[in-house]
Structure 1
Amino acid sequence: MSAPAVSRHETNTVVVGAGQAGLATSYWLSQRGVEHRILEQRPALGGAWQDRWDSFYLNTPNFSVSLPGKAYDGPEPDGFIARDATIDFFRRYARDIHAPVELDTTVTRIAPADAGFTLETDRGTWAARNVVLASGAFQRPRTPPAAVGLSPEVLQLHSHDYRNPAQLPQGAVLVVGTGQSGGQITEDLLDAGRAVHLSVSSCPEAPRRYRGQDIFHWIVEVNVHGPEYGINALQVDGLPSPAGRFMCNPLLSGNDGGHSVHLRELGRRGVRLHGRFEGIDDGVLVFTDDLAERLALVEAGFGQRLGRLSDAYIKAAGIDAPAADVPEEDHWLPAEPGARLDLKAEGITSIIWCTGYALDFSMLDLPLLDEWNYPRHTKGVTEHPGLYAVGLPWLTRHISATLVGAGPDAEYVTGHLAARR
């Protein structure tokens, strides 16, 4: 009996991923008259925003909800939109630009071929002259190796799979990590009346508003216009090390009209704070015994980097902005920081790992990745002709993985791609 026929398709360019970067790429490819298809592994449009919890609000203000040809024009530029509204925005945008998306199609292998590339998927094979990697920054949920040593009686979820407190069994909850997900999920659990323990990482706190504007306004300004004034720290060439591409984002929330998240305030509300998670010792969780120093580091981080860059930009650009508010000194510390935690004794039945994501380009059958599994490239143009990347953290600058940052990178990449014809 002969083997079943494998469907084969051809197009000039395949875009892998239909999130914000993939849709922005599709817009520019259409503008340049380049035939293409977008292969999206999810059964529905909406990108990684579909993996956020029920109470999630976008952390960046509405003025940044912008993709090529679709700038925000609503009445609340400094407001924030909920998860489902964010998903709807992407679905409407894909419809408006007539994005040629193939849903429920997972790319399993990308290999070089004589005329470009062969892409194997779970729904057949594609041949393309060009490929654009647009699978985003949230590819593979990452958890510490020690997690496998925990009792199976404790429910473990990555933030990727957390949806709401009712999803968890009765009992206290340990949240590990204080990036944006960790801080916001802790607040979600508190609002539901759950007892929460929180393992503190090194992600910096930040004011939601700074010198008269949402802090993201200044971040965008320094990204886009900083180089005009010699301020290049938020450009990829200004990173002290390639590892800096994976540094934490500021601890902020878009909920309740947008607000800062302060760890000491969470502690005063009843959250039991611990140092960074280190591992497991005879069934007991171990944390660094440096909570006081860690909280001070978290609170100082904004002033040492983003605050300083914002101030330098405001001064260099001659912007008339109000002076920065001086934060009140806060020396609160828990009575018992606790470097060790017995889950059973504390009634902890769930752990939520807010420990970020790892890049996953395992489908690439090409020697193209550096030691951080990041494609080697220049402004999104990789070392292999016809292969491009968009939407990655610090692709060209700090905001490259955001809505407002994906479009300009996609415009540059598609210009290079179109010129190959």
Structure 2
Amino acid sequence: MTVLDVVVIGGGQAGLAAGYHLRRRNLSFVVLDAEASPGGSWQHMWDSLHLFSPAEHSSLPGRLMPAQAGETYPDARHVVDYLGDYEKRYDLPVQHGTRVEAVRRDGGGLLVEADTGTWRAAAVISATGTWSRPFLPAAPGRADFAGRQLHTVRYRSPAEFAGQHVVVVGGGNSGAQIAADLALDGRARMTWVTQRPPRLLPDAIDGRALFDVATARRQALEAGLPDTGGVAALGDIVAVPPVRAARDAQLLDAKPMFDRLTTHGVRWPDGSAEDVDAVIWCTGFRPALSHLAPLNLRRERGRIPTEGTRAVHEPRLHLLGYGDWTGPASATLIGVGRPARDAVREIAALRQHGASPPQ
């Protein structure tokens, strides 16, 4: 059994940002990552996916992402390469192919049990993200539909749907981008459906502006000023170039949500029916937190209450990168640096005040 100051669970962008700050604090740590290779969830994205922001505005702490030749907005493969380089550059002790099964209290520390071994630590940073927990809604008739159903996580390219009628469900960024990908390709007939009319952000707004808006909201809340609403007040969908192109070509006319799925297609609220070959559910994710179940920290709506990144009912645990509830913009490349720094600073302070790694 290995004894350390900190165990980081998850080796994607949030786990690497935490590792960077742990290295700077000279704390002993390991990063346990279920993926077989570097890159986190980025290595599983669809083929056409690009970032919302230029490379220089999509960087982890300490290392600017280099520009990608011929691209204003880097693609997912470029991000994977960057994360792999980042891991090597800072000599971060990432153990790939290690799946954490449980975190338990163990005297003065926490016990981390994985399929490759057990670690004891004074503190744990959970940074497992959401990609491994896709959410599928309980839509009427979903179990009856004989066609193909897949979530965002399984979509790769329009080529696999050539000659088919595909319904894309979801009014967020993934839904809009996958709908645009299919529509611009033209080999499949695509119908986009959303619960409410989609709201595209102004064309000039990309990830740089979104980060500024999220930062302004955080500063306002910290100062006791009225909530600005943040990014949600502006819209739901970043108008990246493919989305703009599909919109301008009038290929992104979203329909209201269908009433139910039938054996061979969908039925609309007016009673009409339509044959469909496949449904792509771009319906979001839930935090991957099953490994924390032994700590019994979930409260209302299954959420673990936090103050900043620290779990309210277990101060030795920090949650990083799951969304604004674990740090403003902490689920983004550029936004995760600050909450990662704050989490490590709190852990270092805890360590200095006598919380030594349990023996």
Please give the per-residue CA displacement for 1:118-151, whole angstroms capped at 9, x wherever unaligned.
Answer: 1221222222221101112434101112377344
- Matched with 2:273 is 342
Aligned to 1:216: 207
Q: Is the 8 A contact 1:110 1:363 kept in 2?
A: yes
What is the distance in 2 between the residues matched to 1:81 and 1:119? 36
Highest Rg: 1 or 2?
A: 1
Answer yes or no: is 1:15 the counterpart of 2:1: no
Cα offset for 1:152? Answer: 5.4
CA displacement at 1:201 relative to structure 2:
3.1
How far apart are the structure 2 equivalents of 1:235 and 1:400? Answer: 21
Give the 3-state SS of the residue equivalent to 2:325 in structure 1.
Answer: coil
| Letter of the structure 2 residue corresponding to residue 251 of structure 1 | I
Match status 1:143 vs 2:136: yes
1:380–1:413 Cα contact (<8 Å) kept: yes
> 1: distance between equivalents of 2:152 and 2:317?
31
CA–CA distance in structure 1, aligned partners of residues 224 and 274 of structure 2: 43
Distance 1:148 1:12, change over 3 A: farther
Considering only aligned residues, what root-mean-square deviation do their CA atoms show, in Å? 3.3
Which one-letter code corresponds to 2:213 in the other structure? V
3-state secondary structure, aligned to 2:86: helix
In the alignment, the residues of structure 1 paired with residue 88 and residue 259 of structure 2 have an alpha-carbon distance, to the nearest angstrom, of 47
Looking at structure 2, the residues matched to 376 and 165 of structure 1 have their Cα atoms a distance apart, in angstroms, of 40
Q: CA deviation at 1:115?
A: 3.1
Deviates more, 1:65-74 or 1:383-392: 65-74
Aligned to 2:291: 363
Please tell me whether the aligned partners of residues 3 and 120 of structure 2 are also in contact (alpha carbons under 8 angstroms). Answer: yes
| Counterpart mapping for 1:268-417 below 5 A | 268-269=250-251, 273-280=254-261, 285-286=266-267, 339-340=270-271, 342-344=273-275, 348-364=276-292, 365-383=294-312, 384-395=314-325, 398-417=328-347
**Could you tell me how far apart the structure 1 residues matched to 2:226 and 2:27 are?**
31
Alignment of 1:20-419 (within 5 A): 20-72=13-65, 74=67, 79-146=72-139, 149-151=142-144, 153-168=146-161, 170-193=163-186, 194-202=188-196, 203-209=198-204, 214-225=205-216, 231-232=220-221, 238=227, 250-255=236-241, 260=244, 265=248, 268-269=250-251, 273-280=254-261, 285-286=266-267, 339-340=270-271, 342-344=273-275, 348-364=276-292, 365-383=294-312, 384-395=314-325, 398-419=328-349
Report the 3-state secondary structure (helix = DSSP H, G, I; strand = E; otherwise coil) of the residue aligned with 1:358.
coil
How far does the alpha carbon of each residue in 1:352-401 deviate from its partner, in whole angstroms, 9 at most, with x for none?
00101112312211121232333211111112121111112113654221
Deviation at 1:11, TM superposition (A): 2.2
Letter of the structure 2 residue corresponding to residue 342 of structure 1: A
Partners of 1:353 and 1:121 in 2: how far apart?
A: 31
Distance 1:94 1:41 in 2: 15
Specify whether residues 66 and 282 from structure 1 end up closer, same or farther in structure 2 by C-alpha distance, changes over 3 A only.
Answer: closer
Deviations 1:145-183 (A, max 9, x none): 237734453011101110012223641101011211111
Quick one: distance in 2 between partners of 1:402 and 1:146? 30
* In structure 2, C-alpha distance between the alignment counterparts of 1:147 and 1:67, rounded to whole Å: 42
Equivalence for 2:356 = none
Specify every segment of 5 or more residues in structure 1 that has no aligned partner in the other structure, as ranges: 1-7, 290-338
Report SS of the residue matched to 1:85: helix
Distance 1:165 1:75, change over 3 A: closer
Equivalent in the alignment of 1:299: none
Q: Distance in 2 between matches of 1:402 and 1:234?
A: 24
Match of 2:102, SS state, is strand
Q: Give the whole-Å Cα distance in 1 for the aligned partners of 2:224 and 2:34.
A: 31
Name the aligned partner's letter for residue 199 of structure 2: P
Q: Which structure 2 residue ranges, 5 or more long, are not aligned?
A: 352-359
Give per-residue Cα distances to partners, 1:79-104, cap 9 Å, x unaligned: 20011111111111111111111111
Deviation sequence 1:298-342 (CA, Å, 0-9, x none): xxxxxxxxxxxxxxxxxxxxxxxxxxxxxxxxxxxxxxxxx5563
Q: 1:204 to 1:253 in 2, by over 3 A?
A: closer
Query: How far did residue 116 of structure 1 move?
Result: 1.0
In structure 2, distance between residues paired with 1:236 and 1:71: 33
Provide the rounded CA distance (Å) in 2 between the counterparts of 1:147 and 1:55. 31
Tell me the distance in 1 between the aligned counterparts of 2:213 and 2:232. Answer: 19
Go from structure 1 to structure 2 and tell me whether the alpha carbon gap of 1:176 and 1:198 turns closer, same or farther (over 3 Å shift): same
Q: 1:92 to 1:111 in 2, by over 3 A?
A: same
Name the SS for the 2:323 alignment partner: coil
Which residue pairs with 1:303 in the alignment? none
The residue matched to 2:210 in structure 1 has which SS?
A: helix
Q: Distance in 2 between matches of 1:177 and 1:284?
A: 17
C-alpha distance in structure 1 between counterparts of 2:42 and 2:317, whole Å:
26
SS for the counterpart of 1:403 is: coil
Matched with 2:355 is none
Partners of 1:169 and 1:235 in 2: how far apart? 53
**How far apart, CA to CA, are the structure 1 residues paired with 2:283 and 2:254?**
16
Q: Distance in 2 between matches of 1:119 and 1:39?
A: 10
User: Which TM-score applies when normalising by structure 2?
Assistant: 0.85
Task: Check conservation: 2:323, 2:331, Cα contact below 8 A.
Answer: yes
